[in-house]
């Protein structure tokens, strides 16, 4: 038996907003994007969330982001993220997610952030949470600027490919590992581990969770890191436990209703 790990999606699972859109304001302020780009980026993010499991939708989103970033100085992007991280991300980290991450780390599991957002954004967010392992989108770079090519797009089945490669490298036992996500587009990621859990799920993912009796967690308390360390609130763990109970109860109710329906159906 290998070691186990815990894989966390980022947006709406660990933080209460889109990590990519969170930096739109400073990118606009520093001249990297126009007002029209801000609107188009928000629309692209919405389309991905509504239909992200479709390969064409994911490909269009990937290509749009590559075109948008083409020519940006990589160091400028990193500097913007570093300067605004505590203002734009820190207040929106779910306390429940932070507590769950700490529980996995205390149990000796490696915690890995897995996100379609760019590595330049995801890695600093991981460091904020005490996470060093990150799977994120990587853009091509030529002479210190983004080339407009995508080396790796961390979405859909590609997440599973990267997770499987890391598991092989680290000797993780995926059957004994955990995964958390809010989006149906992460169905492949959730299905590749033995302990999948959905967090703040969209409608399609909630339905899938009920059908498979997966735990359902509802995270509702974004709290800045400094305040979290001072207060160490008990609310997050209680909320997580309640979420698991609700998820199991929903699964049992669905199964019972399904059995009753089948029993009532006339036989041929």
The label of the residue with tokens 């505590």 reads 86
Tell me, yes or no, if 186 is annotated catalytic: no
Show the DSSP H helices in 6-73 as ranges. Answer: 19-22, 24-29, 35-51, 55-69
Sheet of 145-152, strand order = 145-152, 133-142, 110-118, 5-8, 178-181, 195-199, 216-217
Q: Is 11 a catalytic residue?
A: yes
Nearest to 191 by CA among 207, 206, 208, 203: 208
11, 119, 186, 202: which is the annotated catalytic residue?
11
**What does the DSSP 8-state code read for residue 215?**
-
d(CA 76, CA 30): 9
C-beta contacts of 104-112 below 8 A and 24+ residues apart: 104/6, 104/178, 105/130, 108/3, 109/3, 109/4, 109/5, 109/6, 109/177, 109/178, 110/3, 110/5, 110/6, 110/170, 110/172, 111/5, 111/6, 111/8, 112/5, 112/6, 112/7, 112/8, 112/163, 112/166
Helices 235-264, 203-212: inter-axial angle, 10-degree rounding: 70
Tell me which DSSP letter residue 16 carries. S
| Active-site option among 9, 110, 119, 202 | 9
Annotated catalytic residues are 9, 11
């Amino acid at each position: 038996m290998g070691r186990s790990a815990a894989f966390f999606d980022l947006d709406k699972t660990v933080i209460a907003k889109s990590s990519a859109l969170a930096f739109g304001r400073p990118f606009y302020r520093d001249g990297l994007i126009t007002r029209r780009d801000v609107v188009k980026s928000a629309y692209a993010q919405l389309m991905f969330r509504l239909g992200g499991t479709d390969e064409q939708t994911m490909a269009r989103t990937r290509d749009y982001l590559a075109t948008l970033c083409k020519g940006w100085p990589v160091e400028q992007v990193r500097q913007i993220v570093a300067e605004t991280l505590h203002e734009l991300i820190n207040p929106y980290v779910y306390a429940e997610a932070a507590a769950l991450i700490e529980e996995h780390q205390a149990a000796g599991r490696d915690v890995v952030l897995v996100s379609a957002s760019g590595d330049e954004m995801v890695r600093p967010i991981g460091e904020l949470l005490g996470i060093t392992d990150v799977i994120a989108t990587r853009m091509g770079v030529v002479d210190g600027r983004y080339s407009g090519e995508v080396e790796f797009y961390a979405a859909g089945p590609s997440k599973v490919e990267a997770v499987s490669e890391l598991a092989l490298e680290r000797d993780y036992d995926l059957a004994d590992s955990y995964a958390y996500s809010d989006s149906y587009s992460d169905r492949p990621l959730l299905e590749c581990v033995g302990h999948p859990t959905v967090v703040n799920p969209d409608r399609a993912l909630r339905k899938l969770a009920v059908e498979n009796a997966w735990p359902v967690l509802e995270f509702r308390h974004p709290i800045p890191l400094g305040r979290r360390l001072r207060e160490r609130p008990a609310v997050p763990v209680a909320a997580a436990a309640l979420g698991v109970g609700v998820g199991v109860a929903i699964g049992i109710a669905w199964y019972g209703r399904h059995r009753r329906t089948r029993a009532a159906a006339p036989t041929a």
